[in-house]
């Protein structure tokens, strides 16, 4: 059984409502049909009825049971504009311009409780998905910048949670400040709790292990570690450390100066920048024959997921499963 199939089994009677703003994309339509058929979630497609129907017909797809909403024709448009303007002080005229577009409307559906999650990015750039989500849905309490994570399912690695690890942030922040690195660590901890129920053990990665090298880049990681300790003192987080010290108990024992509940048994790897995270997950994927799932967005007040513009139908289904799991995890927190 593949990783996503395993995760799907954990969705028990889930009726998560997922909105897909790019409803006229044939991949989205096909994935939504499978999401509905498999009971993963209740999909809602955004777009004009004409465009969505035309795309479905060209692909030979049956839209039975799929709800389609045209944002500009929806009776909810003015309600969302009024609510958003009242709650934020944003001018109604400007709010209407944003919300009548599919990404904005989808984000408004999530903000105001008509959907539980939004999945976009098959057509739109990640930047647009993040911008609309940040502006309309907003960030989670205590988080000041959005970020992303990958789930790596690595057959040659065995940790306390099996062969899965979380890598952050491979998709959003190119040169994170210590404050942003701290956000990434804290958001990643929340993500793994919601998705998997793990106790997060976060390794703040560097080319140095607890002072073995001196450099401004190392200082950035140490500063981020201290911020996480200040903001979330109950979290198991340690660093700075090299990746072998994070994952291999014998290496951790030889390299770490102080006892650590994280070193040698980390399940979240926070990389110092986007270069390192992106290279790290792709090396693990290609040389370690790992399954790579994501990047998934995190740090928002409600569930938002991004897609690559090269996403396959299977990719979209996988992201939908993970989004439904995160919603399930959020609901269990309430």
- What's the pLDDT tens digit per position in 120-136? 999 999 999 999 999 99
As a whole number, the mean pLDDT across the chain is: 95
Q: Residue 332: is its pLDDT beyond 80?
A: yes
pLDDT of residue 34: 96
What is the average pLDDT across 229-239?
97
Burial class of residue 64, CB neighbours in 10 A (0-12, 13-18, 19+): exposed
What are the backbone angles phi and psi of residue 16, rounded to the nearest 5°? -60, 135
What is the average pLDDT across 246-269?
95
> What residues contact residue 86 under an 8 Å CB cut-off, 6+ apart?
none
Q: Residue 13: is its pLDDT beyond 80?
A: no
Direct distance between the N- and C-terminal alpha carbons of the chain, in angstroms, rounded to an integer: 31
What is the average pLDDT across 170-194?
97
Q: Which fold has domain 147-292?
A: Rossmann fold (3.40.50)
Q: Residue 14: is its pLDDT beyond 70?
A: no
Quick one: which H or E segment has residue 290?
none
**Domain boundaries 3-138+301-333, corresponding CATH code:** 3.40.50.10950
Q: Over the range 205-227, which residues count as b (16 or more CB within 10 Å of their CB) and which as e?
A: bbbbbbeeeeeeebebbbebbeb
| pTM score of the predicted model | 0.93
What is the average pLDDT across 287-291?
92
Q: Would you list the domain boundaries of the chain?
A: 3-138+301-333, 147-292
What is the average pLDDT across 134-153?
96
What is the average pLDDT across 222-229?
98
Q: Residue 211: is its pLDDT beyond 80?
A: yes
- Contact of 120 with 307, CB cutoff 8 Å: yes
3-state class percentages of the chain: helix first, strand second, coil last, to nearest 5? 45, 15, 35
Whether 3-138+301-333 shares its CATH topology with 147-292 is answered: yes
Share of the chain above pLDDT 70, in %: 99
What is the average pLDDT across 16-43?
96
Q: Which residue has the tokens 């990047």?
A: 295
Q: Residue 22: is its pLDDT beyond 80?
A: yes
């Amino acid at each position: 059984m593949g990783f996503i199939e395993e995760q799907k089994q954990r969705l028990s009677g889930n009726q998560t409502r997922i909105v897909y703003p790019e409803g006229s994309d044939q991949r989205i339509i096909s994935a939504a049909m499978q999401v509905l058929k498999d009971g993963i979630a209740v999909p809602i497609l955004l777009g004009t009825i004409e465009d969505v129907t035309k795309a479905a017909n060209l692909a030979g797809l049956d839209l039975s049971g799929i709800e389609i909403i045209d944002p500009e024709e929806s009776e909810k448009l003015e309600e969302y504009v009024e609510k958003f303007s009242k709650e934020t002080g944003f001018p109604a005229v400007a709010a209407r311009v944003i919300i009548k577009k599919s990404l904005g409307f989808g984000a408004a559906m999530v903000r105001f409780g008509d959907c539980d999650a939004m999945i976009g990015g098959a057509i739109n750039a990640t930047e647009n998905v993040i911008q609309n989500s940040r502006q309309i849905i907003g960030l989670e309490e205590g988080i000041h910048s959005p970020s992303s994570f990958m789930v790596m399912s690595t057959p040659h690695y065995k940790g306390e949670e099996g062969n899965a690890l979380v890598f952050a942030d491979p998709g959003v922040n190119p040169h994170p400040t210590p404050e942003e690195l701290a956000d990434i660590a804290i958001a990643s901890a929340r993500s793994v709790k919601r998705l998997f129920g793990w106790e997060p053990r976060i390794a703040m990665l560097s080319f140095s292990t607890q002072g073995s090298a001196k450099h401004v880049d190392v200082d950035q990681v140490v500063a981020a570690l201290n911020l996480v300790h200040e903001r979330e003192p109950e979290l198991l987080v340690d660093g700075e450390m090299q990746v072998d010290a994070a994952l291999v108990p014998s290496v951790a024992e030889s390299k770490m100066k102080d006892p650590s509940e994280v070193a040698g048994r980390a399940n979240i790897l926070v990389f110092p920048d986007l270069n390192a995270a992106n290279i790290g997950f792709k090396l693990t994927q290609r040389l370690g024959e790992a399954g790579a799932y994501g990047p998934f967005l995190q740090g928002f007040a409600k569930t938002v997921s991004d897609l690559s513009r090269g996403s396959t139908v299977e990719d979209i289904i996988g992201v939908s499963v993970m989004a439904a799991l995160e919603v399930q995890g959020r609901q269990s927190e309430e």
